[in-house]
Amino acid sequence: MSDLQRLIEKIRKIQALYDGAATSGERAAALAALQRLQEGLGPAGQRYTAPPPPPPPRPAPETEIEYRFSLDNPWSRKLLRALLEKAGIRPYRRHGQRRTTVTARLKPSFCEGVLWPEFQKINALLNEYLEETADRVIAEAIGRFSPDDGME
């Protein structure tokens, strides 16, 4: 067996290792070994090009689940409904659910990563504004007023 034939045989074996590699690290190591051996082929042999690595597996599609939000504040309910509708999601209420409940089918990543954090920030600002406005209106309409939340 000539040197060229041995080299070609080695390349075939490494290619088999590459094709059967279970991890990207094994594939990378086999590809590096193939490239080193290709240098030995020179002009007498053909250069071997390994096939590109397979694309990474796609993550499983995320399924929507039903979320039920119970909000006793009508302004918070209106805000949540507006945020859902802005995102193209139609909120609903099942038969027998209270008026304080807003239900919607959402992907968990959207609810936990986008919708709920945005709702909490805007809701805090809305509540602060409404409280300041109520204090001001009461003070102007009734007179002296000290807004004390810690009444005992």
**Is 20 strand, coil or helix?**
helix
What percentage of the chain carries pLDDT values higher than 90? 43
Beta carbons within 10 angstroms of residue 13's beta carbon = 13
The reported pLDDT for the residue numbered 147 is 63
User: How confident is the model over 81-96, as a mean pLDDT?
Assistant: 94
Beta bridge partners of 132: none
pLDDT band at 143 (very low <50, low <70, confident <90, very high): confident
The answer to whether the beta carbons of residues 44 and 99 sit under 8 Å apart is no
Rounded to an integer, what distance in angstroms lies between the CA atom of residue 135 and that of residue 141?
A: 10
User: How many other C-beta atoms lie within 10 A of the C-beta of residue 41?
Assistant: 15
For residue 90, pLDDT beyond 90: yes
Q: In this predicted structure, which of 14-23, 68-77, 116-125 has the lowest mean pLDDT?
A: 14-23
Question: In sequence order, what are the residues at sequence separation of 6 or more whose Cβ sits closer than 8 angstroms to the Cβ of residue 81?
Answer: 91, 102
The whole-number pLDDT of residue 19 equals: 72
Q: What share of the chain in percent tops pLDDT 70? A: 74
User: Domain locations in the chain?
Assistant: 3-44, 65-142
Is the confidence at residue 43, as pLDDT, over 60?
Answer: no
